[in-house]
Every structure is written in C-alpha cells, then in structure tokens.
Amino acid sequence: MIPPYAITLFTTLIITFSLPATSFTAEDAYPFPHIIESMPSYEDLSPIRREVYDEGRIIDITHRYRPEMPTWESAEGLGQYNERLGTVPTKLAMMFVFRHWLPSHTGTHVDAPGHVFDHYFDAGFDVDTLDLHVLNGELS
C-alpha cells in the first residue's frame, strides 16, 4: 500500500516541475512596488512601453487614448474622456477613482460578431467569447 504522504509528495513534484521555468510578477512589469512609502519619488516613475511580447509572438498595435484621438462620427476627436473623482486610502496604497466615458468605436478595438450580426448578438457572441488564437494570428 502506498502511504498517503507519498501521493501528496508525488503530486507536488509533478506540479512543480511541470510549471514554466520563468514566471512573471507585477514587480517585473512595474518599476516600483505599489506601496506609497517605498516609492523613491513620483518624478522617477516612468512606464515601460512595449509593442513586442513573448519574443515577437504577440505585437501590440493599440494606441494610448488622448483627447485628439479620432472617434466614430466626431470631427473634434475624443475630447475629455475621463474625470478623476477622488482618492481612497487603503491599507497598502492610495486607490484613485476615475470615471471614463468613451464611444464604442474609439481607438484600437475589436468588434464582436454580435456587434454586426443580430443572430450572433442574440446568441451571446460578445467580446469575451472571441478566440484569442484567431486574434493573434500570423502576419502575412
């Protein structure tokens, strides 16, 4: 008979060695922890903007939102699209509260099949049902 701890140990080893050798954390993506007291200064804070991910497998074609960004049926562009409503202190950091308003056809976006065809809309084909493998296809 196999002792119960042996099965647990075996399962743990299988899971551990089947995980990728590299893992990514929020600290890998952001230069400083999200704890206000440990941040050296806000002037030193600068985001890393990447367009290529996963060794070139994914290329990000999105654009940052800005007031002059073109939007559907607007000659003036997007305009003021967000408003900072306030801040909420939490145990570890300060949380900022914003209100955003955007027309659905603004910036880089994807339309779900339900946006164009009524029968897909009625069946529930929303953006969250899109196949990411199709969206991340090969360039030709």
For residues 73 and 6, which has the higher predicted lDDT (pLDDT)? 73
Q: Return all residues near 66 (Cβ < 8 A) that are at least 6 apart.
A: 78
What is the rounded CA–CA span in Å between residue 111 and residue 130?
A: 9
For residues 1 and 40, which has the higher predicted lDDT (pLDDT)? 40
Read off the pLDDT of residues 100-110 as tens digits, 9 standing for 90 and up: 888 878 888 77
Dihedral angle of Cα 65, 66, 68, 70, to the nearest 10 degrees: 0
Locus of tokens 């900022």: 96
Q: At 59, which amino acid appears?
A: I
